[in-house]
């Protein structure tokens, strides 16, 4: 199994901590960076074009540039538009999910109900990425 190089964008510190723990425990990912806002993600990507990830997993609602902005910015930059952006949120509202997909998100995945479920979440996300062939070879 290939380790997926991922960037996590999550503004809630506790959520980010447990997300990182779960993704590391799954053994399926290499977390390249973590950012609390889309602004910091996009700035880092601009400054580090040689370290771009296989996948960006982003929270939807954050201060500054949010998940919608990340989708828009990455889809409109030639050097970034092949990187799948997966949006994650506690919301399972169909209209929000549809909007993210229409804007160009590769997928929308609802966050687990408890922080301790992130290892299983990470495994299911890996399966979704593999099944839908979201990675550019």
- Region of 64 please: left (phi>0), alpha (psi -120 to 50) or beta: left
Flag residues of the chain having pLDDT under 70: 1, 136-137
**In this predicted structure, what is the pLDDT of residue 134?**
85
Give the gyration radius of the chain's Cα atoms.
Answer: 14
pTM, 2 dp? 0.95
**In this predicted structure, what is the pLDDT of residue 136?**
66
The residues, ordered by sequence, that sit 6+ positions from 33 with a Cβ below 8 Å of its Cβ are 7, 8, 41, 44, 53
Structural domains of the chain ordered from first start: 4-131 (3.40.50.2300)
**In this predicted structure, what is the pLDDT of residue 46?**
97
Residues 127 and 59: their CA atoms lie apart, in Å, by 19
3-state secondary structure of 102: helix
What separation in angstroms does the CA of 81 have from each of 74, 106, 112? 5, 11, 27
Nearest C-alpha neighbor of 107 from the set 57, 62, 61: 57
């Amino acid at each position: 199994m290939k380790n997926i190089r991922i960037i996590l964008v999550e503004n809630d510190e506790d959520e980010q901590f447990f997300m990182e723990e779960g993704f590391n425990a799954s053994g399926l990912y290499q977390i390249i960076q973590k950012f609390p806002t889309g602004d910091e993600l996009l700035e880092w990507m601009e400054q580090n074009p040689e370290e771009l990830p296989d996948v960006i997993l982003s929270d939807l609602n954050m201060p500054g540039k949010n998940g919608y902005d990340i989708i828009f910015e990455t889809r409109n930059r030639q050097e970034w538009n092949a990187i799948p952006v997966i949006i994650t949120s506690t919301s399972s509202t169909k209209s929000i999910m549809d909007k993210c997909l229409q804007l160009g998100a590769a997928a929308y995945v609802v966050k687990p109900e408890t922080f301790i479920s992130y290892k299983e979440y990470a495994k299911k996300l890996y399966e979704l990425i593999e099944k839908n062939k979201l990675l550019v070879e």
